[in-house]
Structure 1
Amino acid sequence: MCLCPWWKFIIQHKMSGIIGKKVGMTSIFSADGRNVACTLIEAGPCVVTQVKNVDTDGYNAVQLAFGERKEKNTPKPLIGHFKKAGTTPKQKVVEFRDFRVEFEGQVNLGNTVKAEEVFVEGDFVDAIGTSKGKGFQGVVKRHGFGGVGGQTHGQHNRQRHPGSIGACSWPSRVFKGMRMAGRTGGDRVKVINLRVLKIYPEKNLLLVSGSVPGAKNSFVILEK
C-alpha cells in the first residue's frame, strides 16, 4: 500500500519552455500533399534572469526574460534584477517550474536559451497566450446563439437578442452561469499538442501547426 500523497506524483513532472512573440499565420504543404495551417513564432533567444532551487526557494525553477525594454520605462527594482543577470531590461519575464532533467547544471544566471536548444522538429508543445479582446458582445457572437427566428421566447423583433432567460414561479430566479452578453476575449488561453513543423535557428523562428491565441506581436509562452 502506497502512503505517498497523490500530488507528490504531479509536481515531479519535468517541464521546459521558452517565451516568444506571435508573428502571424501561414500554411505549408505536408509530405502527403495536405495544406496545413500553421503559426510563425519568434521564439527567443531568452536570457536566464534567475535560477531557483529547493534549498533557497523551496522548489526548482528557471526564470526567463524576452524582448527589449527601455530603461526609462523599467521600474528600478527590475533594473537591478536584470543587471544582476548581466542583461538589459526585458519586456516579458516568465518562470518555468521544474525545468527538464537534461538542462540541470547547464542553465546558469545570464545564460541564453534558444529555441533549437529546447525543441526539435516533431515535438508537441502547448501554447499559452492572451486571446484578442472583443469588448462587450451579445450572445450571438459570445456564445454562438442562432438568434430568435420566430415571434416567441419572450421577444419578436430583436433577432440577435437572447430571448427569455428564466422560468416561472419555480425557481423564480435565473440560474447562475446563464449564458448572456458580456465582456468577450482578453483571457489567458492554452492550446495543447501543437506540433513543431519547422525550426529556423538563424532567425529564431518556430513554425507550429494550428492556431495560437493572441494578436500579432503578442507574447506567447511555449511549454514542452
Structure 2
Amino acid sequence: MPGLIGKKIGMTSVFSADGKNVPCTVIEAGPCVVTQIKTVETDGYEAVQLAFDDKKEKSTTKPEAGHFKKAGSAPKRKVVEFHEFDNEFKLGETVDVNLFDENSFVDITGISKGKGFQGVVKRHGFGGVGQSTHGQHNRLRAPGSIGAASYPARVFKGMRMAGRTGGDRVKVENLKVIKVIPENNLILVKGSVPGAKGSYLIIEK
C-alpha cells in the first residue's frame, strides 16, 4: 500500500540519539477504511479508495451514504484514491499507521495556508525599488517595470505580479519518519509539512 490519509495535529520536537533537538510535525495517520477497489474491467484503471475521519450522517448525502454502506463503513469526510499498490485489499478493510516504519521516508501532500491577496515582495520575494532616497517615498515594495513600450506593447503571460497567495496543493518529498505511535495513530515526521493545523494530508511511502 502506498500511503494513508492523515490530519495535521501540530509541531513538536524530540531529541535524537546524539542529543540534537529535532523539529517534528505530529500527524494523525488513519485508520483508513477501504471504501472501493477499482479495476480495469469496471473502471478502466486500478486504484484503491481510502476514506478517513468520521462525519455525521445528517451531513451526508444519500449517494455518499450508500457508497459507504456498501463498504460497511460509517460516513467519512475525506476520500482519496491510491494508484500504486502491491498488497491485495478487501472492501471494508482497515489500514492503520503500522504501514509506516521508523526511520523510513515518506512524501506528504497538503493544501498550503492561504495568505489572501499579497504584493510581489511577499508573493515572489522581490526586493522593492531602490532605497528610501531621491524622493521615492512610496516605492519600497513596488514591483517596478512590468513591460516594454511600443514593442511588444503588452505584458507577457506569467509576469510575476501581486495576486492571491497560498491555498495551493503542495508536495514535500523525502521526510523522515522519526517516530510511530500505533496506540494513538500518530506519526512524527522531521520538519514541516504544508497546511494549517487540522488540515488533511496524503502520506505516501
Q: Compute the TM-score of the two structures, normalised by the length of structure 2.
A: 0.93
1:161 aligns with 2:142: yes
Give the alignment partner of residue 63 of structure 1, picking from 46, 49, 64.
49
- The SS at the match of 2:183 is coil
Report 1:16-27 matches (<5 A): 16-27=2-13
Give the alignment partner of residue 23 of structure 2, picking from 31, 37, 59.
37
- The SS at the match of 2:42 is helix
Structure 2 gaps, min length 5: none
Report 1:1-16 matches (<5 A): 16=2
Q: Which residue of 2 aligns with 1:120?
A: 101
Q: Which residue of 2 aligns with 1:79?
A: 65
Q: Which residue of 2 aligns with 1:190?
A: 171
Q: Which residue of 2 aligns with 1:211?
A: 192
Q: Do the aligned partners of 2:132 and 2:140 also contact (CA within 8 Å) in 1? A: no
Partners of 1:150 and 1:21 in 2: how far apart? 45
Corresponding pairs, count = 203
Q: Which residue of 2 aligns with 1:10?
A: none
Partners of 1:98 and 1:175 in 2: how far apart? 40
- The SS at the match of 1:202 is helix
Partners of 1:95 and 1:143 in 2: how far apart? 33
1:136-174 CA-partner distances (Å, limit 9, x unpaired):
00011111112223379xx65232121221123332222
Give the alignment partner of residue 93 of structure 2, picking from 104, 107, 111.
111
Q: Which residue of 2 aligns with 1:131?
A: 112
Partners of 1:148 and 1:72 in 2: how far apart? 55
The structural deviation recorded for 1:61 is: 1.2
Q: Do the aligned partners of 1:127 and 1:212 also contact (CA within 8 Å) in 2? A: yes
Aligned-pair Cα RMSD in Å: 1.6
Partners of 1:176 and 1:84 in 2: how far apart? 48
- State the one-letter code of the partner of 1:144: G
Structure 1 gaps, min length 5: 1-14
Partners of 1:51 and 1:28 in 2: how far apart? 38
Partners of 2:154 and 2:132 in 1: how far apart? 23
Name the % identity: 72
Q: Do the aligned partners of 2:50 and 2:80 also contact (CA within 8 Å) in 1? A: yes
Partners of 2:32 and 2:84 in 1: how far apart? 17
The structural deviation recorded for 1:55 is: 2.7
